[in-house]
Copies of this chain bind each other. A is one copy, B any other.
Amino acid sequence: MAINATAIVSSKASIGSNVSIGDFTIILDNVVIGDNVSIQSHCLIGQPTPLSDGKPLIIGNDSLIRSHSIFYEGSQFGSKLMTGHRVTVREKIEAGDNFQIGTLCDLQGHAKIGNYVRFHSSVHIGQHSIIDDFVRVYPYTVLTNDPHPPSNLVLGVKVNKYAIIATMCCILPGVQIGEKAIVGAGSLVRKDVEPETLVAGVPAKYICRASEIILKDGTNQPAYPWMRHFHRGYPKEITDEWLSIYDT
């Protein structure tokens, strides 16, 4: 363990082996941190809340939490969580392995997140969102949940496997984004999006089949499904599977 001198770590927290904790970081009581985890400086980890039902914050093995981040108690993350800086993560999130949360993301809690999900910077995830494996969400996109704010109704957004939501989109309450669908930048999505389609606009409308979009790299290949040509940051066992599907 390498706990910097100015870090404040509760003796009640459970800390795995080979964990490093940066200066001016606070680890509170109700926290379970796996092995080989690095938590950078100026973080607040395990913030208590009555909404956690007493459950701990669980951070899986081999994770990296970058500086100035805040995690509440009551959420659970698989292995290889990786955050940018100053993420804010509330209670009752259940996330799979290899979850990446970009700088300035704001996760309001009470959400389900699959494996290999990627949020770029400044993504805002409302409560009761469900986000499936391999989804990617780009900066300044918001998943809302209240159909007529303020109300007591909470209709979370559901984003299915391999779907892409581009920059600066607003997804309205209860919307389902279909598997391998793409939401173009700057869209306001009011209705469900069919699988393997591109929608865009305010409000978002059907533009074309995802497979009709051509890569602008001169190869004249389709840009989607993206798993065919984009492998950066995914492990070999995953990309080998993708290659076996798409490179035939």
Binding site for B on A (CB under 8 A): 6, 8, 23-24, 26, 40-42, 44, 47, 67-68, 70, 84-86, 88, 103-104, 106, 108, 121-122, 124, 136, 138-140, 142, 144, 147-153, 155, 164, 166-168, 170, 172, 185-186, 188, 201-202, 213, 215-217, 223-224, 226, 229-230, 232
Question: In the complex, are the beta carbons of B88 and A104 less than 8 A apart?
Answer: yes
Known: A103-B106, A170-B186. 8 other contacts (CB 8 A): A84-B88, A104-B106, A122-B122, A139-B144, A148-B224, A151-B215, A168-B168, A202-B202
Residue from A40, A88, A167, A230 with most neighbouring chain B CB atoms (10 Å): A167
Residues of B within 8 A of A202 (CB): 186, 201-202
Task: Give the distance in Å from the alpha carbon of A88 to the alpha carbon of B170 in the complex.
Answer: 24
Question: In the complex, are the beta carbons of B148 and A138 less than 8 A apart?
Answer: no
- Measured CB to CB, the nearest residue on chain B to A124 is B139
- Given contacts A88-B103, A121-B124, is CB(A148)–CB(B223) below 8 Å? yes
Question: In the complex, are the beta carbons of A140 and B139 less than 8 A apart?
Answer: no
Number of identical protomers? 3
Question: In the complex, are the beta carbons of A150 and B8 less than 8 A apart?
Answer: no
Task: Give the distance in Å from the alpha carbon of A121 to the alpha carbon of B109 in the complex.
Answer: 13
Task: Give the distance in Å from the alpha carbon of A235 to the alpha carbon of B142 in the complex.
Answer: 30
- Given contacts A151-B223, A188-B186, is CB(A106)–CB(B121) below 8 Å? yes
Residues of B within 8 A of A103 (CB): 88, 106
Question: In the complex, are the beta carbons of B147 and A138 less than 8 A apart?
Answer: no
- Measured CB to CB, the nearest residue on chain B to A140 is B142
Question: In the complex, are the beta carbons of A148 and B185 less than 8 A apart?
Answer: no
A144's contact among B23, B149, B167, by CB below 8 Å, is which? B167
Question: In the complex, are the beta carbons of A142 and B168 less than 8 A apart?
Answer: yes
- Given contacts A24-B42, A42-B44, A202-B201, is CB(A167)–CB(B150) below 8 Å? no
Residues of B within 8 A of A224 (CB): 148
Residues of B within 8 A of A147 (CB): 216
Residues of B within 8 A of A85 (CB): 70, 88
A106's contact among B122, B138, B155, by CB below 8 Å, is which? B122
